[in-house]
Amino acid sequence: MKNTPFTKFHIEAGAKMVPFAGYNMPVEYTGINDEHITVREKAGVFDVSHMGEFWVTGPSAFEFVQYITSNDVAELFDGKIQYSCFPNGRGGIVDDLLVYRFNAEKYLLVVNAANIEKDWNWCMANASRFGLVTGRDLVNSSDEIAQLAVQGPLALKAMQKLTTVPVEDMEYYTFRVIEFAGIRDVIFSTTGYTGAGGCELYVKNADAESLWTAVFSAGEEYGIKPIGLGARDTLRLEMGFCLYGNDINDDTSPIEAGLGWITRFTDHKDFIDKSLLIKQKDEGVSRKLRGFVMIDRGIPRQHYEVVNSQGEIIGEVTSGTMSPVMKQGIGMAYLAKGNWKADTEIFIRIRNKDLKARIVNLPIYNKS
């Protein structure tokens, strides 16, 4: 099992450590609810060094990324980030990812930790079509980069103390390469997986310890805390953000998953599964991923059956939890056609009891 450059800090802080995607990772420190509320109200720090990073460079970089991802890379400009997915050639999803454009011939693909090897093999399998050479034009730097996500309404205010570059007003899903906390060439991106605002910081492994120390020093006055995988999951679920392996996988299409907004059918873009996904968009699909909130008291979990008022099975829960903010059970589920409308009453079968819930539009938790 691998450690991240921050593992010793997690252990020193008394984190409960668990194996995750081949890494020794913190699941919680002071408790999931406490950590969740910290991120929603103040600022929290996640070690996300387990994520994968692939560089794509050269004259064919744009064409390659445009072909292998579902979103329209032509809409990116230098310093802009895009959420996208890798279609798998048979209607499913290899992975979801972030695409960073540095310039017309340089992109960074940030992929999920559990899928690094799978994604890398997928990229290599499609590279030759564009003349990309592995190790030169396509480089896997996943083991060389450390990453922290600093999330919450006070995160950017705290991080501004560590750089002279104005970062508090950076647009959502943009990035800059800056000097930060005395470290050169830090990728500072206004992204995250919580819906609470903040940033993600990419540095070389050698700079990881000084980054951790500086971030917590700068955030001390704002009540900053380290946050584990447990709260990361409850935070993303309140927002209705998909988790690969739960809500999306090789057998779910982006159209079914409600990711049509990152599946762009423009004339100038050719990409894997384009014709198949256009057909799904035009003809419709038999199931869709929808969010729900429990009305009866109960905590939904992955694979629980969803039934209608007659007790007929109409779907399956993909993710579920008790929302620390809403104090209600929440989740997402694939539901059969005819059961997608917001406020439709459904039932989650929990321990042989059918507990009432209602369908909601995403995000499940809406602060406003």
pLDDT in tens for each of the 368 residues of the chain? 999 999 999 999 999 999 999 999 999 999 999 999 999 999 999 999 999 999 999 999 999 999 999 999 999 999 999 999 999 999 999 999 999 999 999 999 999 999 999 999 999 999 999 999 999 999 999 999 999 999 999 999 999 999 999 999 999 999 999 999 999 999 999 999 999 999 999 999 999 999 999 999 999 999 999 999 999 999 999 999 999 999 999 999 999 999 999 999 999 999 999 999 999 999 999 999 999 999 999 999 999 999 999 999 999 999 999 999 999 999 999 999 999 999 999 999 999 999 999 999 999 998 76
CA distances in angstroms from 240 to 74, 258, 318, 332, listed in the order given: 27, 10, 11, 7
- pLDDT computed for residue 368 by the predictor: 64
Cβ-contact 291, 360 below 8 angstroms: yes
* Strand ranges of the sheet holding 81-87, from the earlier edge strand across to the other edge: 81-87, 93-103, 106-111, 52-57, 138-140
Of 231, 242, 163, 238, the residue nearest 199 (C-alpha): 163
Q: Which two tokens stand for residue 356?
A: 């009432």
Containing H/E element for 186?
strand 183-189
Q: What structural domains and CATH numbers belong to the chain? A: 1-285 (3.30.1360.120), 286-368 (2.40.30.110)
Task: Indicate the residue type of 108.
Answer: L
CA 322 to chain centre: 20
Own/partner pairs, 3-12, CB within 8 angstroms, 24+ separation: 4/47, 4/49, 4/50, 4/146, 4/208, 5/49, 5/146, 5/205, 5/208, 5/209, 6/47, 6/49, 6/146, 6/148, 6/208, 6/209, 6/212, 9/212, 9/226, 10/47, 10/226
Q: Which helix (H) or strand (E) holds 145?
A: strand 145-151
* Residue among 73, 116, 67, 70 nearest 93 (CA): 70
Cα-based distances in Å from 154 to 20, 41, 132, 200: 28, 8, 42, 14
- Local structure of 363: helix, strand or coil: coil
Give the whole-angstrom CA distance, residue 172 versus residue 176. Answer: 12
Q: Output helix, strand, coil percentages for the chain, rounded to the nearest 5.
A: 25, 35, 40
Between the CA of residue 312 and those of 31, 246, 304, 308, 318, what are the distances in Å? Answer: 38, 23, 13, 6, 18
Rounded Cα–Cα distance for residues 123 and 116 (Å): 10
Angle at 205 between CA 20 and CA 116, to 5 degrees: 40
Farthest-apart Cα atoms in the chain, separation: 63
Radius of gyration of the chain (CA): 21
How many residues are listed for the chain in this entry?
A: 368
**pLDDT value for 366:** 86
Q: What is the DSSP string of 256-315?
A: TTT-GGG----TT---TTHHHHHHHHHH--SEEEEEEEESSS----TT-EEE-TT--EEE
The per-residue pLDDT for 262 is: 98
Query: What is the CB-side half-sphere exposure of residue 299 using CA atoms within 13 A?
Result: 7
